[in-house]
Structure 1
Amino acid sequence: MVDGKCSKRYLRDLLAETITGNDGYPLYRRRSVADNGRSVVVKVKGQNVDVDNRWIVPYSPILSKAFETHINVEYCNSVKSIKYICKYVNKGSDMAVFAVTNANDEISQYQMGRYVNSNEAIWRIFSFAIHERYPTVVHLAVHLENGQRVYFNESNAADRAARPPSTTLTSFFTVCQTDDFARTLLYADMPRYYIWNASSKSFQRRKQGTPVEGHPNVFASDALGRIYTVHPNNDECYYLRLLLVNVRGPTSFKQLRTVNGQLCATYREACQLLHLLENDSHWDDTLKDSVISSSPHQIRTLFGIIISTCFPSNPKVLWVKYRDDMSEDVCIVCAVKL
Structure 2
Amino acid sequence: MGIAKDRIKIPSDVDNYITDELPDPVNESNLYNTITTCMIHDPCGPLNQKAACMKEGKCNKHFPKPFLDATFFDTNGYVCYKRTSTAHHTTQFGQIVDNGYVVPYNKRLCSWFRAHINVEYCGWNMLIKYLFKYISKGADRVKYTIKKQGNTDAASTSVPTATYQGSTNHDCRPINEVQNYLDGRYICSHEAVWQIFDFHIHHRYPPVQVLTVHEENMQQMVFNGESSILEVLSNPYASTTTLLGWINSNSRGNQGHDLTYLDYPKKYKWDKSSKSWDRRVHESSKMVGRLVFIHPTSGELFYLRMLLCHQNGCTLFKDLRTIAGTIYPTFRAACNALQLIGDDVEWLTCFTEAAMWATASQLRSLFCHMLFFCEVSNPLLMWNAAFDRMKDDYMHTVSVQVTDKIVTSLAGIVEQQLLHDLDDMLRSVVPSKSMRDCGLPVLSVYVTGVLQNRLLLE
Say which one has the larger Rg: 1
TM-score (normalizing by structure 2): 0.36
> Which structure carries more strand by proportion?
1
TM-score (normalizing by structure 1): 0.47
